[in-house]
Amino acid sequence: MPPDAICAAFDLFFRGTSLEDISRHLEVCWSLKVTAPSILEWVRGYSRMLGDWVENLMSTEKVNGGTRWH
């Protein structure tokens, strides 16, 4: 799967686009057939990965960002 398409799906999800609409967008604009559950798994997986990366970066750079995200 092209990383740009995954980023587009991620962006659309956090802008409030439904999973079905994201799936349709990927099919029309990217010629990719992706199911709504697959998109949700991308969002969950990459969000965890990004969260872990930020936590690691904060600890190595000695950033005190608090315990809650707003």
pLDDT digits 0-9 by tens, 6-34: 999 999 999 999 999 999 999 999 999 99
Domain count, the chain: 1
Element (H, E) at 6: helix 3-14
69 pLDDT higher than 80: no
Give CA–CA dist 52/44, Å, rounded. Answer: 12
Domain that holds residue 19: 3-60
| Residue 49 in domain | yes
- In the chain, the amino acid numbered 20 is E
Q: How many CB atoms lie within 10 A of CB 5?
A: 17
- Tell me the two tokens of residue 55: 């936590």
Give CA–CA dist 34/32, Å, rounded. Answer: 6
| Residue 67 in domain | no
Q: Percentage of the chain with pLDDT > 90?
A: 69
Higher pLDDT, 44 or 68: 44
